[in-house]
Amino acid sequence: MEVRWVQSRRYPAVYTYVDGEHVTEEQMAEYRGRTLLVSDAIDEGRLTLQIYNATTSDNGQYRCLFEKDGVYQEASLDLKIVGLGFSPLITVKEQKDGEIELICSSEGWFPEPHAQWKDMEGKIIPSFSEVLTKGSHGLFHVETSLLVMNSSIVNITCSICNPLLDEEKKATFSLSEPMMSFSWKIVLVLVLPLVATVVLVKWKRGKKANVTLDPNTAHPGLFLSERYKHVNHEHSYSNTSDGDSTAYSKDQARRGS
């Protein structure tokens, strides 16, 4: 008896079973070490092929070829590999003219997922753009965007659905205030520390200094106060030997504070 599981071609095979033995020489390299034929119900005419660590490349049609005592039979089936991706993430990008762009992205989907935007009442909103890319493991990454006026933002949902499982994952974006107010708050937070710094510098520059004068280095014509905080300047003339009249002037100034 010979049982052969194949895909598009007869050789090499996904799995070959001949007279109770697994023929590894005819097996495709990508299936080695991750297939098992369950034959405990062979007397009932039923054999089960198990594939472990399934990948997107395993997706497709398989045929089972059976031969015994010159009798041939064949059966086929479609193997559907599915991947339910990660919960989507919504990011915000501000545009001109009061518009903002909402970007919804998620990865890990197979086959190609369906992405939709909906308003708070569940009505579908047409997307601005949608991009699907396939990663190294064959799983899809989806990114869809939506342009809205900031005054119209209340509650918007991005949902991504696997068409085979009919299961979806979604994320909701809500904003109670206009985006411009949000942006103004960010600018204000950044500007306030700078303003505070400028005011502090001006205050320090305008503050009076507390100065103590050194009598040992003062000019002989200067007179210091008792606590060395003020200085007076005095200038006088006395009578001369030839009878000139006496002239006296006094100039007093304060320095320091």
Which amino acid type is present at position 111?
A: P
What sign for the dihedral angle of Cα 117, 121, 123, 126? negative
Better-predicted residue by pLDDT, 201 or 99: 99
Quick one: 17 exposed, middle or buried, by C-beta within 10 A (0-12, 13-18, 19+)? buried
pLDDT tens per residue across span 192-209: 454 444 444 454 555 555
Q: Which fold has domain 89-176?
A: Immunoglobulin-like (2.60.40)
Question: Is residue 83's pLDDT more than 60?
Answer: yes
pLDDT tens per residue across span 173-185: 986 544 444 443 3
With a threshold of 0.75, does the pTM exceed it?
Answer: no
Angle at 41 between CA 36 and CA 47, to 5 degrees: 45
How much is the pLDDT for 115? Answer: 98
Residue ranges matching CATH 2.60.40.10 in the chain: 2-79, 89-176
What average pLDDT does range 224-233 have in this prediction? 57
C-alpha 245, offset from chain centre: 94
Which of 3.40.50.300, 3.30.450.20, 2.60.40.10, 3.90.79.10 is the CATH number of 2-79? 2.60.40.10
pLDDT tens per residue across span 103-140: 999 999 999 999 999 998 999 999 999 999 999 889 99
Question: Contact at 8 Å (CB) between 179 and 153?
Answer: yes
How much is the pLDDT for 236? Answer: 43
